[in-house]
């Protein structure tokens, strides 16, 4: 894997790359002197745009996490509601079977005094209980106890469903909050870009598309498994498709959406967020990376791509840049996970 070492030594982050390309392009266009030691007037603007895109990506992963949590809670609440409905139907059937006794309990909203004695925990009521049992019969007493247990279970499930609904509401609010954060940062980035002179904006756009969407030389690296090979093939089929925050295919993607979708095409479920994907398998050294391995970046694992071979990853970079190949050393803090 000598190519890994060669590429890793020349690694770069997205912002640095964009600025290098922009400086060269600006010099070629005569925007700034090529040998000037003074930063171009708009270097700070471009750096700020890169910073906003990075922060937006982190907020996007937080959005994805909250959205996935909300989706899970919706399923749990739906399941609880179905279970409660079935329990209520079962209770109603038991009440019907108990006839007038169950009917009296249902109408009164509680147990008849004699039935309350039946279920009392006070040992002194034993003889009274025995008398009641004589009147209603052992079989009927068993049905009443079953009814009481079913009603207790129903009350517990209703309480749990109410708690889940509360969690769901909090998760929905978190989703909305993260969405607003992403939208504000992206809107500010677009505003800054639009304020650049047209030549510098064009140079930035060219730098944003500096990765490859055609098939580079991926060497002879072999995927670690058939499912990894299938995931790589799926990711390659998405080359050129746009980055859209919060999207997980098939026509647009954010970074973790692309890798999750690619593995889903291989029949493998992995977490929705880049942080979750970092621990979706076994950690391996970068020097041992094989096609299909997930490569997460930065100390907080806020970006993820898929190793494609020969020191290249496929990833959804950021708004304005399509799914493409870039060197594996494009950002700091690379961590490799084999699914």
pLDDT at 161: 77
For residue range 293-307, what is the model confidence (pLDDT) as tens digits?
Answer: 999 999 899 999 999
CA 32 centroid distance within chain: 43
**Of 205, 244, 193, residue with least CA distance to 57:** 244
List active site positions.
255, 303, 315
Domains, the chain, ordered by start:
2-42+196-338 (3.90.1720.10), 77-188 (no CATH)
Cis peptide before 250 (omega within 30 of 0): yes
Q: How many CA atoms lie within 13 A of 127 on its CB side?
A: 1
Question: What 3-state DSSP class applies to 198?
Answer: helix
The pTM for the full model equals 0.56
**Would you say residue 318 has pLDDT above 70?**
yes
For residue range 184-242, what is the model confidence (pLDDT) as tens digits?
Answer: 888 888 888 888 888 877 776 666 655 666 777 787 889 999 999 999 999 999 999 99
């Amino acid at each position: 894997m000598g190519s890994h070492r060669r590429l890793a030594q020349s690694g770069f982050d997205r912002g640095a790359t964009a600025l290098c390309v922009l400086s060269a392009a600006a010099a070629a266009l005569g925007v700034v002197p090529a040998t000037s030691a003074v930063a171009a007037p708009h270097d700070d603007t471009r750096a700020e745009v890169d910073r906003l895109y990075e922060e937006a990506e982190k907020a996007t992963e937080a959005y994805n996490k909250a959205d996935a949590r909300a989706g899970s809670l919706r399923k749990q609440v739906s399941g609880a509601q179905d279970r409660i409905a079935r329990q209520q139907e079962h209770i109603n059937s038991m009440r019907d079977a108990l006839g007038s006794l169950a009917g009296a309990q249902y109408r009164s909203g509680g147990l008849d005094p004699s039935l309350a004695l039946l279920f009392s925990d006070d040992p002194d009521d034993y003889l009274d209980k025995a008398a009641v049992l004589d009147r209603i019969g052992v079989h009927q007493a068993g049905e009443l106890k079953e009814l009481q247990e079913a009603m207790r279970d129903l009350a517990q499930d209703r309480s749990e469903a109410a708690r889940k609904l509360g969690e769901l509401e909090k998760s929905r609010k978190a989703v909305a909050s993260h969405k607003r954060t992403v939208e504000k940062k992206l809107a500010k980035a677009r505003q800054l870009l639009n304020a650049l002179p047209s030549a510098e904006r064009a140079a930035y756009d060219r730098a944003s598309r500096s990765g490859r969407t055609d098939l580079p030389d991926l060497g002879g690296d072999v995927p670690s498994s058939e499912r990894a090979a299938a995931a790589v093939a799926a990711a390659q089929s998405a080359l050129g498709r746009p980055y859209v925050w919060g999207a997980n295919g098939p026509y647009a993607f954010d970074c973790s959406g692309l890798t999750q979708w690619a593995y889903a095409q291989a029949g493998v479920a992995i977490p929705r967020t880049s942080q979750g994907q970092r621990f979706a398998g076994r950690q391996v050294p970068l020097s041992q990376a094989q096609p299909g391995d997930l490569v997460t970046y930065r100390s907080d694992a806020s970006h993820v791509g898929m190793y494609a071979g020969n020191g290249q990853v496929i990833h959804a970079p950021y708004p304005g840049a399509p799914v493409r190949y870039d060197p594996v050393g494009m950002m700091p803090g690379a961590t490799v996970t084999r699914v």
